[in-house]
């Protein structure tokens, strides 16, 4: 029995170590990427918009570490500045859906009844609507660019947070300590945001990491289709699309920005997995 206790303790220790490594690896990857994006003006000696037709489609080398494109623009500068654009948009576009979805989900889970019915009706309706069709409609009526991305994701992006927040809140709303708080005279506002929210936040934070990766894919996809971030602003999606015609002769035009997209997705996924593992370990 003593041996079993030691073995369980050793397994828990190894699991905590693995969780810490996963989260640390994700934070390190994203930290490096954020530093490259923030300090792009200091790192890159060439303007990302600067054209030099004499440097047409140069392969990666000493003068241009990531090569140049069909207009002689430096790929290193463009991919770092594109990171600034895409990462900033990814974070800012999550703020409204994250806050709105969390609040609505908590209200639905806490009050139930009519409130839950109305919020569930809206979420079910929006989920049934094809996502990229909505993107195209918004782009058609609102025009392509950053504004369309913000508007589209604000309309549908909050649903996933609402569902998670509703589930956690609903499981806590009938608990003894919530009932005791009501009998003590605490207002619903205080119970929701002082007592229940600390339990909801870790769950929606994990969802945030995963959802940011999905949003980045959407941003890149829209840029690739030409209805996202508009030229001449550097964007990973538009860079991949521009390099598609030269994929056999100048692979670096599409491959390098594509690798940055994959790198970002892996970093965010590792952070999400690390946070989820830590929560499971805390609950265990």
Q: What would the two tokens of residue 206 be?
A: 């994990």
The average confidence (pLDDT) of the chain is: 84
pTM recorded for the entire structure: 0.83
What's the CA gap between 274 and 17, in Å, rounded? 11
* Residue-wise pLDDT tens digits, 6-24: 455 455 555 555 667 888 9
End-to-end CA distance of the chain: 20
Contact 65, 43 (CB under 8 A): no
Q: Residue 13 and residue 8: Cα distance in Å, rounded?
A: 9
Instruction: Enter the tokens of residue 36.
Output: 């490259």
pLDDT at residue 5, as a whole number? 47
CA 136 – CA 149 distance, rounded (Å):
10
The encoded tokens of residue 35 equal: 């530093």
Least confident of 24-38, 193-207, 220-234: 220-234
For the record, the structure tokens of 269 come out as: 């996924």
Q: What is the pLDDT of residues 242-280, one digit of tens each?
A: 998 898 889 999 999 999 999 999 999 999 888 887 776
Distance CA 36, CA 18 (A): 27
Contact 228, 149 (CB under 8 A): yes
Task: Note the pLDDT tens digit of each residue in 69-110.
Answer: 999 999 999 999 999 999 998 898 899 999 999 999 999 999
Mean pLDDT check: name the lowest of 19-23, 61-65, 108-112, 163-167.
19-23
Scored b (16 or more CB within 10 A) or e, 251-280 reads ebbbebbbebbeebbebbbbbbbbbbbbee
Average of pLDDT values for 154-183?
A: 86
Report the C-alpha gap between 35 and 88 in whole angstroms: 13
Task: Provide CB contacts within 8 A for 20, sequence distance 6+.
Answer: 274
Q: Which domains does the chain have, with CATH numbers?
A: 2-283 (1.10.3720.10)
Reported as a pLDDT band with limits 50, 70 and 90, residue 224 is confident
Q: Which residues pair with 222 in a beta bridge?
A: none
For residue 7 the two structure tokens come to: 């073995």
Residue 281 — pLDDT band, cuts 50, 70, 90?
low
């Amino acid at each position: 029995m003593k041996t079993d206790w030691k073995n369980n303790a050793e397994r828990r220790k190894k699991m905590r170590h693995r969780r810490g490594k996963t989260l640390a690896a994700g934070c390190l990857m994203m930290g490096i990427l954020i530093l490259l994006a923030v300090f792009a003006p200091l790192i890159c000696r060439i303007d990302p918009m600067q054209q030099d037709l004499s440097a047409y489609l140069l392969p990666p080398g000493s003068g241009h570490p990531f090569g140049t494109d069909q207009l002689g623009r430096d790929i290193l500068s463009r991919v770092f500045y594109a990171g600034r654009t895409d990462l900033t948009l990814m974070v800012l576009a999550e703020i409204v859906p994250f806050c709105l979805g969390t609040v609505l989900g908590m209200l639905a889970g806490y009050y139930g009844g009519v409130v839950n019915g109305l919020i569930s009706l809206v979420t079910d309706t929006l989920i049934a609507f094809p996502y990229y069709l909505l993107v195209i409609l918004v782009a058609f009526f609102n025009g392509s660019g950053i504004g369309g991305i913000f508007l589209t994701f604000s309309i549908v992006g909050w649903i996933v947070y609402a569902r998670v927040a509703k589930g956690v809140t609903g499981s806590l709303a009938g608990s003894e300590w919530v009932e005791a708080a009501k009998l003590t005279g605490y207002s619903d506002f205080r119970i929701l945001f002082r007592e229940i929210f600390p339990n909801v936040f870790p769950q929606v934070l994990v969802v945030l990491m995963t959802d940011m990766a999905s949003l980045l894919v959407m941003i890149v996809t829209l840029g690739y289709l030409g209805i996202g971030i508009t030229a001449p602003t550097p964007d990973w999606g538009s860079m991949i699309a521009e390099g598609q015609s030269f994929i056999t002769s100048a692979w670096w035009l599409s491959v390098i920005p594509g690798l940055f997209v994959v790198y970002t997705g892996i970093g965010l996924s590792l952070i999400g997995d690390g946070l989820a593992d830590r929560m499971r370990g805390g609950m265990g």
